[in-house]
Amino acid sequence: MHEGLHRDIISCLPHLRAFARLLARDRVLADDLVQEAVVRVLAHADQFQPGTDFKAWASKILRNTYLNEMRRRGRASQLSAESLWQMPSTSGEQEGRLGVRDFTRAFRALPPIQRQALALVAAAGYSYEDAANRVGCAVGTMKSRVSRARVQLQQMVDGERPAKPWSQ
């Protein structure tokens, strides 16, 4: 275990919690994911390479924990178009709230890999390079995922069905 491991874990907990909530869309599941990721970080601390980005390493463990959990639960990673329209909605609120609701639905309907890319670049403010390093993909792949997610979000928010069901 490297010196300051506990300090590193504590300092990146807020990031891990926010990232888990973006991925899981459920506070209880997100808290469980963070707890499991921290356990895995501690169990595999010998695999961390000092001098590299600890937060990126811990984020990758969290992402893998999330993906493993989704596989374990046997859930589909993407909502079907039919279930999207059957989701409960709020009653006559202001237009702004309706827009947020529409965006939230569309965001949740994105494939997890696109949701993650958009969350890192657009919501968390990471550069394409940093986001690609955090998830272990090429910069071009990250740019493509973000671009596709934006296009798909816009189509869904505008009430259109996406032209192509992208998975990446």
Quickly list DSSP for 35-54.
Answer: HHHHHHHHHTGGG--TTS-H
Query: Which residues of the chain does CATH 1.10.1740.10 include?
Result: 5-73
> Structurally, what CATH architecture does the domain formed by 81-157 represent?
Orthogonal Bundle (1.10)
Q: Tokens for 115?
A: 């949701």
- The rounded distance, in Å, linking the Cα atoms of 106 and 81 is 10
pTM for the model stands at 0.49
The CATH class that applies to domain 5-73 reads mainly alpha
Tens place of pLDDT per residue across the chain (168 aa): 556 888 999 999 999 999 899 888 888 999 999 999 999 999 999 898 888 889 989 999 999 898 888 877 764 434 444 454 455 554 444 554 555 677 778 788 888 898 888 888 877 778 889 889 988 999 999 999 989 988 888 888 777 766 555 444
